[in-house]
Chains A and B, each alone.
Chain A
């Protein structure tokens, strides 16, 4: 049974991995030779050969490669096991979170902490949390478009910008207040969502991603270059904070106020997305994601479903834009780069496409970790990228796998 791989002896595997890792290490050492070993000093006109670096390089890459191959094997084995089972097993995390015995008290505790947060923690911490909450809503919004309806939108930040500039400009020119502009921003977001939705109705996958990416860039470029309209790269400052029945308040109180506004908006968004997910509309989105042709052949109007997903996602982004402008009191196009879109997408993918809980966790993880990793600020992006790659390889379904509702059927009544 030499050809049947799964029954190979384990030591045979290890030897094979060592070989593979060795080859990889030699290659990497060879490739990095010019930069790691040879140093040419053009002033002194000397060449230094740092052979020790070569040894470090080879050893480091050997260890990493070996670890990688072993991890890959473990993954493949667990994959093979999973294929044999018909019942799917969830990760410990999602099993824990979906068990009502733990989930209920955990949720109550979370709410309690959330409600009292600004009173126990500093303004600095509260501010960070407000930012994280904004990304929770952005993530949940993009989750509708990407996670549920399967429309890969890489220009999501454009709608965020639409909301932010709507408030900033209306406030600057007409002194309109936060609470007036909030619904206006939402409507404008929905409008832009449909505006982008129409031309891309026929596109899917990569093509859709590229066009939406372009759309995001267009909005940013317009904001940067049309100075008469948007004040260009210098942005708009002195945007009013949210009004509170005409009461004036300090910056610290403003943070607390902002926090509670955001908390309410987060709860509202969770409520809305959770209800939509298991509704007629949510199911239509899922069907659209799973198989566009079958979806339409079963009587679903693809055009409507897509436009709804686009505009609802855009509405949430625009709402957050208004909040963002009011929170920072200053905006410029630099806040709305592709990096933001990528970050929000990373939240959705990391958390688990289509899973509300996963996206919330993803947002907190991706927004809070970098804040507290400031000590390693130089390596932040490196760690970030590395983590994303690892997660995509070993947990492609995200932290929490999206689960479908289990219906209890009253057999006597139905049968």
Chain B
């Protein structure tokens, strides 16, 4: 472990929006994550990189409540939302939907949209946890319900505009081209008003031009919505130019962390990426 890493974690602990300490995850005998430390600060774009099978997606699943970590602490410090708790909220083991409601929204490596719903409706699902019409309200459709519904439509359409899908609003998600599906997932996550956006390989399967557009989009979104972004990505060009800090994971451990420049020069990282031989 590099010297820089400990310094970074100590300095950032008090100003983080997400702080992960010592998180481990075992699947039976397989140790997919071991003692992972990671911080995301307000407005930061943090990248998590590493070879396939390193445990990156598992890490996302652990901090979004899909898995309960075997050990360690995951703490969120929501900047948005009503209950501002300076001591933070412990989220390991919290139900997935509550984590989302708290303000951490994610996308999936293998796209998980709602295929038989329209693009707009997919985004409207993201508004679910910010609205409250119940069965009775939906049946009676009073003034309050109609107002809320209109708000949901307007806001969702706005999100579609942000990712450039406004023309495809009424298309079924299953009929969208691949790149559009990826962007739709981002719009859906944004609709939940997150303080932290978790993107799992958003550029996977995109061509260089699409990747560049995606990068510009992430930059715009960060500025406009004041969100922090935690990004898993294989496209090194995108990672290096987009992220403020990078964590490198291998075999479930963080082997290096720092600015893109620091990480790029770390011999450990070079070895992990180029194989054992290059060390000699």
Q: Which one of A43-51, A287-295, A327-335 is at the interface?
A: A287-295
Extra contacts besides A294-B112, A414-B157 (17): CB < 8 Å: A275-B138, A276-B139, A279-B145, A280-B133, A280-B152, A283-B117, A286-B114, A290-B115, A295-B125, A296-B95, A297-B64, A297-B96, A299-B101, A301-B95, A407-B120, A407-B157, A414-B161
Separation in Å of the B186 CB from the closest CB of chain A?
12
Q: Which residues of B contact A411 (CB under 8 A)?
A: 166
Residues of B within 8 A of A295 (CB): 114, 125
A88 at the interface (CB under 8 A from B): yes
A312 to B134, CA, bound (A): 13
B251 within 8 A of partner (CB): no
Contact between A287 and B125 (Cβ–Cβ < 8 Å)? yes
Number of contacting residues on A, CB 8 A? 38
For B122-164 the 0/1 string (1 means CB < 8 A from A) is: 0011101111011100110100010011001110011001000
Size class of B's contact patch?
35 or more
Q: Say whether B118 faces chain A, with CB atoms less than 8 Å apart.
A: yes
Cβ of A281 and Cβ of B114 under 8 Å apart? no
> A interface vs B, CB < 8 Å?
86, 88, 271-272, 275-276, 279-284, 286-287, 290-291, 293-302, 308, 312, 402, 404-407, 409, 411, 413-415
A415 near B161 with CB under 8 A, answer yes
B188 on the A face (CB < 8 A): yes
Which stretch of B5-13, B35-43, B167-175, B235-243 is in the interface? B167-175
What CA separation (Å) do A283 and B121 show in the bound complex? 8
Partner of B66, one of A286, A297, A298: A297
In the complex, the answer to whether B115 meets A280 with C-beta atoms within 8 Å is: no
Residues of A within 8 A of B161 (CB): 414-415
Q: Is the CB of A297 within 8 A of B106?
A: yes
- Max count, chain B CB within 10 A of own CB: residue among A287, A297, A405: A297
Could you write out 9 A-B pairs with CB less than 8 Å apart? A279-B139, A281-B135, A283-B128, A293-B112, A294-B112, A294-B114, A300-B125, A404-B117, A409-B154
- Complex CA gap A275/B135 in Å reads 10
B114 A300 Cβ-Cβ under 8 A: no
Closest Cβ of chain B to A244, distance in Å, is 28
Of the listed residues B121, B125, B134, the one surrounded by the most CB atoms of chain A closer than 10 A to its CB is: B125
Q: Are B106 and A283 in contact (CB under 8 A)?
A: no
Q: Which residues of A have CB within 8 Å of B254?
A: none
Q: Is B192 an interface residue (CB 8 A)?
A: yes
- Which residues of chain B are near A312, meaning CB under 8 Å? 135
Instruction: Give Cα distance in the complex from A409 to B124, angstroms.
Output: 14
The smallest beta-carbon distance between A282 and chain B, in angstroms, is 7
Does the CB pair A301–B97 fall under 8 Å? yes
B169 to chain A: which residues have CB within 8 Å? Answer: 407, 409
Q: Find out whether the CB atom of A298 lies under 8 angstroms from the CB atom of B192.
A: yes
> CB-nearest residue of chain B relative to A280?
B133
Q: Does any Cβ of A come within 8 Å of B113's Cβ?
A: yes
CB distance from B198 to the nearest CB of A (A): 10
Task: Please name the residue on chain B nearest to A402 by beta carbon.
Answer: B116
- Are A413 and B154 CB-contacts (below 8 A) given A88-B172, A272-B139? yes
Q: Which residue of B lies closest to A273 (CB)?
A: B139
Identify the closest chain A residue to B131 (Cβ).
A280
Q: A280-B138, A404-B118, A415-B161 are in contact. Are A299 and B108 (CB under 8 A)?
A: no
Would you give the shortest CB distance from B68 to chain A, in whole angstroms? 14
Is B196 an interface position by the 8 A CB rule?
no
Whether, in the assembled complex, B100 has its beta carbon less than 8 Å from a beta carbon of chain A, the answer is yes
Chain A min CB distance to B53 (Å): 20
Task: Determine how close the nearest CB of chain A comes to the CB of B70; give it in whole angstroms.
Answer: 20
Chain A residues whose CB sits within 8 angstroms of the CB of B189 once the complex forms: 298
Say whether A291 contacts B138, CB under 8 Å. no
Within the complex, the shortest CB–CB distance from B180 to chain A, in Å, comes to 11
Q: Is B16 an interface residue (CB 8 A)?
A: no
The 7 closest A-B pairs by CB, nearest first: A299-B129, A279-B138, A299-B100, A290-B114, A294-B112, A280-B133, A296-B96
Q: Is the CB of A293 within 8 A of B66?
A: yes
A290 touching B117, Cβ below 8 Å? yes
**Known contacts being A86-B175, A291-B114, A294-B112, is A300 close to B139, with CB within 8 Å?**
no
